[in-house]
């Protein structure tokens, strides 16, 4: 191809030169062809890109199509039920509810409901009355002196740094209007989180916001911020579903001077939080750290977040809680399908237990140890609809956190550029020009509406199942497609065995 390129290019250049000499036209074309040939020659002698070396100019089209392939896939190829991590239908539902417009769908389901993977709610022919008030859950165990009445649905952990300041502002102002909490993520408690909305302050392995000069935990800095009036709960991050055992990642492109100052790190460098905590290194230390933080926070609810890996380690935590007679006020269970701004692919695709079995395991383990009533369980795994809330509650959660659902309410289009600082909607970027596209006053209203309308949908599903309270929900109200094969065996038995052969 390289040889053909130069034969054809030089031939065209000679032809256009002859035309120019006789007819005095085509000078710009000659210059253009000369530039193309020069570019082609430069590509043909470079050693870095094999495609450009073999296809000196046409090779650029490969990189162009690769660059826009996500958009081609999303807008021209993807069906309504396709799309990962969230389908077009799921994204549309979030957009409609955040805009407070009609979110109904016409003409019936687009899913294959005869498939063994189908899942649905067993409705009652005597439905309950749909409640107008949005459900709330009291968080606070025996040692908690400042219990918190939380919403059933809240904003999951997303740091300033991963998200833009406008996104954080809109989330917190939306939380203020809707009376639900906003988890800070491990990036620290910033002024953008202190707009009046309730806050759960997450303490990660980097201890950002309560970090000493050596990168360890600073109890004085923690106590000062933990006692801010809007800080309602404290969450210790042990691991995150999308990258358990790795620690947080903030790409250098997103680590601005402002963020570096907040976190106490060098700007314009990739920030890798340690995989584990330095304040403790075993189950005994974890439980003691819970007690320490509760004392420093003057009795506010303290909990921890984890993605389940080795199940015996969680069982050991339960044993240690009983031994010390010290319990967290809540445990947040994240699934391996959880979201993140940046993570190695091997961790995203191949580490950790998925949300459903993890939540079931944690709930049943706490029951087996006789300590389930001492704490709340928070489900944090692809919560985006009223159905997913009800499903999480049925599996054992008392309440739910959603990250990507609220990102959609901010305008996120699932462009999958969170780690590049080029988020086109201004949600997951520190680029000031892109950030301006996210108008805080408008998006905070959408955050409020998404929360309200999603919980209203959960209330409607609860009533359809014939239940009066979310505390009455268990897995018995759900059915799965693989059950139908047994049902069909009862009504469509194999009668061929009784046929008389002649």
Beta strand extents in 211-251 (DSSP E only): 231-237, 249-250
What is the per-residue DSSP string for 140-158?
Answer: --TT-SS-EEEESEEEPP-
Domains of the chain, residue spans: 2-77, 120-481
The tokens describing 355, both together, are 């949300």
The tokens describing 45, both together, are 């002698």
Name 346's Cβ contacts closer than 8 Å, sequence gap at least 6.
none
**By three-state DSSP, how is residue 102 classified?**
coil
Dist CA 1 CA 4 (whole Å): 5
Name 419's Cβ contacts closer than 8 Å, sequence gap at least 6.
249, 251, 341, 342
pLDDT on residue 224? 96
Judge whether 19 and 28 are in contact, CB under 8 Å: no
pLDDT on residue 492? 57
Dist CA 414 CA 88 (whole Å): 10
Give the pLDDT of the chain (502 residues) as one tens digit per residue: 777 888 888 888 888 888 878 888 888 888 998 998 888 888 888 888 888 888 888 888 887 887 777 777 777 777 777 778 888 888 889 999 999 998 888 888 888 887 778 889 999 999 999 999 999 999 999 899 999 999 999 999 999 988 999 999 999 999 999 999 999 999 889 999 999 999 999 999 999 989 998 889 999 999 999 999 999 999 999 998 777 878 778 888 888 888 888 887 888 888 888 889 999 999 999 999 999 999 999 999 999 999 999 999 999 999 999 999 999 999 999 988 877 777 777 887 788 899 999 999 999 999 999 999 999 999 998 899 999 999 999 999 999 999 999 999 999 988 888 888 889 899 999 989 999 999 999 999 999 999 999 999 999 999 999 999 999 999 999 988 877 766 656 555 555 455 555 4
**By three-state DSSP, how is residue 479 classified?**
strand
Judge whether 184 and 195 are in contact, CB under 8 Å: no
Dist CA 126 CA 328 (whole Å): 39
pLDDT on residue 498? 54
Dist CA 365 CA 78 (whole Å): 40
The gap between the terminal CA atoms of the chain, to the nearest Å, is: 72
pLDDT on residue 502? 46
HEC string of 268-325 equals CCCEECCCCCCCCCCHHHHHHHHHHHHHHCCCCCEEEEEECCCHHHHHHHHHHHHHHC
pLDDT on residue 152? 98
In terms of Cα–Cα distance, which of 459, 496, 464, 465 is closest to 132? 459
Q: What is the CA radius of gyration of the chain?
A: 28
Name the one residue in this structure whose structure tokens are 């005994």. 284
Dist CA 352 CA 348 (whole Å): 9
pLDDT on residue 439? 94
What's the fold here for domain 120-481?
Answer: TIM Barrel (3.20.20)
The tokens describing 267, both together, are 């700007």
Name 16's Cβ contacts closer than 8 Å, sequence gap at least 6.
26, 29, 30, 33
């Amino acid at each position: 191809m390289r040889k053909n390129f130069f034969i054809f290019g030089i031939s065209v250049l000679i032809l256009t030169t002859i035309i120019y000499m006789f007819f005095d036209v085509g000078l710009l074309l000659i210059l253009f062809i000369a530039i193309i040939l020069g570019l082609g020659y430069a590509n043909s002698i470079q050693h870095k890109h094999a495609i450009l070396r073999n296809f000196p100019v046409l090779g650029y089209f490969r990189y162009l199509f690769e660059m826009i392939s996500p958009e081609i896939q999303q807008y021209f190829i993807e069906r309504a039920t396709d799309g990962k991590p969230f389908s077009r239908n799921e994204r549309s539902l979030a957009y409609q509810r955040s805009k407070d417009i009609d979110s109904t769908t016409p003409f019936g389901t687009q899913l294959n409901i005869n498939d063994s993977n189908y899942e649905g709610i067993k409705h009652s022919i005597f439905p309950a009355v749909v409640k107008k008030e949005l459900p709330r859950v009291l968080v606070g165990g025996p040692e908690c002196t400042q219990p918190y009445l939380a919403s059933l649905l809240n904003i999951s952990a997303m740091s300033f740094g991963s998200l833009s300041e406008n996104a954080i502002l809109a989330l917190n102002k939306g939380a203020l209007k809707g009376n639900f909490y906003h988890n800070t993520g491990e990036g620290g408690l910033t002024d953008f989180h202190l707009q009046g909305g309730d806050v759960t302050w997450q303490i990660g392995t980097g201890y950002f916001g309560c970090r000493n000069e050596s990168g360890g935990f600073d109890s004085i800095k923690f106590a000062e911020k933990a006692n801010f009036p809007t800080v309602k709960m404290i969450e210790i991050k042990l691991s995150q579903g999308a990258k358990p055992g790795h620690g947080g990642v903030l790409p250098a492109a997103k680590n601005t001077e402002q963020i570096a100052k907040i976190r106490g790190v060098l700007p314009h460098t990739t920030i890798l939080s340690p995989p584990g905590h330095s304040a403790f290194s075993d189950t005994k230390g974890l439980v003691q750290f819970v007690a320490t933080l509760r004392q420093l926070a003057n009795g506010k609810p303290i909990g921890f977040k984890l993605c389940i890996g080795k199940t015996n380690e969680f069982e050991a935590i339960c044993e240690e809680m009983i031994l010390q007679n010290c319990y967290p006020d809540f445990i947040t269970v994240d699934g391996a399908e959880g979201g993140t701004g940046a993570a190695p692919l091997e961790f995203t695709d191949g580490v950790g237990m998925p949300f459903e079995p993890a939540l079931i395991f944690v709930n049943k383990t706490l029951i087996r140890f006789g300590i389930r009533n001492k704490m709340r369980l928070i489900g944090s795994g692809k919560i985006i609809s009223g159905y997913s809330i009800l499903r999480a509650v049925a599996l054992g959660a008392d309440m739910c956190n959603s990250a990507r659902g609220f990102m959609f309410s901010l305008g996120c289009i699932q462009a999958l550029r969170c780690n590049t600082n080029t988020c086109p909607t201004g949600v997951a970027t520190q680029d000031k020009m892109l950030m301006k596209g996210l108008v805080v006053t408008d998006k905070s209203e959408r955050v409020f509406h998404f929360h309200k309308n999603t919980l209203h949908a959960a209330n409607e599903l609860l009533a359809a199942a014939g239940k009066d309270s979310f505390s009455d929900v268990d897995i018995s109200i759900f059915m799965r497609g693989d059950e139908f094969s047994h049902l069909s065996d009862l009504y469509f038995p194999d009668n061929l065995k009784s046929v008389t052969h002649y």
